[in-house]
């Protein structure tokens, strides 16, 4: 992963890779992080790994315990609620514009994404990507494509919870139906109906969190400062 002229530094590349693995649950909540092992795997020195872990700790995606090591941070429901607040505020505001601006072509493209989602019901990561594409397309329909970047930056913690829900408790077919209700609201230029469907869809993650926490409490912050045990935690995919 060594950098060359004009390319990102090793620290940037390592940070990007580790952040991606954490958000996609390749490195699940509570998983121990060895600087030596990560450096060997990524073919870099320990320095960019250490620097990346500190940056991830600033995002609350990693926790560092003196004399024990670094661990992927457990899921914090408060961080999820904060991210959801930002996401909902932006997407709801954009949807009001989308209802006014949408064209037949916009509706057709959204329906095409729904068709692709139906083909991905057995592949949670592929469905997640298509879900992201659907919401990004909604933002673009409202004339706010560039604002999607703001949403993305705010929802790292939320995305971990969404993936946990998709892998364990949230039926994909129901999410596709919710998407369909949003598109129908756009097609009919029914702002109230579209907003109701969007809010219900976005807030469904909170029910998923409670179900996952009931089944796997070890993945979540419990309010204690108990030091972790260095063992791997597996999330079934």
| pLDDT above 60 (res 231) | no
Residues 88 and 203 in one domain: yes
Cα–Cα distances in Å, from 126 out to 113, 131, 182? Answer: 12, 9, 21
Query: Is there a domain that residue 235 lies in?
Result: no
Q: Check if the beta carbon of residue 18 is closer than 8 Å to that of residue 37.
A: no
Query: Is there a domain that residue 224 lies in?
Result: no
Q: Check if the beta carbon of residue 136 is closer than 8 Å to that of residue 145.
A: yes
Q: What is the CATH number of the domain that holds 16?
A: 1.10.10.10
Number of domains in the chain: 2
* 35 alpha carbon, distance to own chain's centre: 25
Confidence of residue 157 (pLDDT cuts 50, 70, 90): very high
Domain that includes residue 64, residue range: 10-73
At 234 the pLDDT is 52
Per DSSP bridges, beta strands 69-72 and 62-65 are: antiparallel
At 168 the pLDDT is 75
At 225 the pLDDT is 55
Bin 75: left if φ > 0, else alpha if -120 < ψ < 50, else beta.
Answer: beta
Query: Is there a domain that residue 237 lies in?
Result: no
At 98 the pLDDT is 97
| pLDDT above 60 (res 235) | no
Q: What is the mean pLDDT of the chain?
A: 91
Query: Is there a domain that residue 232 lies in?
Result: no
At 228 the pLDDT is 62
- Global pTM value: 0.86
Q: Check if the beta carbon of residue 156 is closer than 8 Å to that of residue 80.
A: no
Q: What is the CATH number of the domain that holds 179?
A: 1.20.120.530
Query: Is there a domain that residue 236 lies in?
Result: no
Query: Is there a domain that residue 5 lies in?
Result: no
At 2 the pLDDT is 47
């Amino acid at each position: 992963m060594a950098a060359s002229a004009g390319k990102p530094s090793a620290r940037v590349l390592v940070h990007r890779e580790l952040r991606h693995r954490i958000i996609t649950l390749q490195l699940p909540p509570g998983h121990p992080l060895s600087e030596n092992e990560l450096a060997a795997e990524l073919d870099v020195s320990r320095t960019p790994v250490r620097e990346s872990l500190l940056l991830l700790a600033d995002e609350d995606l990693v926790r560092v315990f003196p004399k024990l090591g670094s661990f992927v941070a457990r899921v914090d429901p408060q961080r999820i609620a904060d991210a959801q607040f930002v996401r909902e505020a932006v997407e709801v505001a954009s949807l009001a514009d989308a209802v006014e601006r949408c064209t037949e072509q916009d509706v057709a493209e959204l329906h095409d994404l729904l068709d692709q989602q139906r083909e991905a019901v057995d592949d949670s990561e592929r469905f997640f990507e298509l879900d992201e594409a659907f919401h990004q397309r909604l933002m673009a329909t409202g004339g706010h494509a560039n604002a999607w970047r703001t949403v993305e930056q705010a929802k790292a913690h939320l995305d971990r919870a969404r993936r946990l829900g998709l892998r364990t408790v949230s039926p994909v077919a129901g999410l596709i139906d919710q998407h369909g209700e949003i598109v129908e609201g756009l097609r009919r230029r029914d702002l109230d109906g579209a907003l109701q469907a969007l809010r219900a869809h976005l807030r469904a993650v909170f029910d998923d969190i409670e179900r996952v926490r009931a089944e796997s409490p070890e993945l979540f912050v419990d309010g204690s400062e108990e030091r972790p045990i260095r063992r791997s935690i597996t999330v079934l995919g």
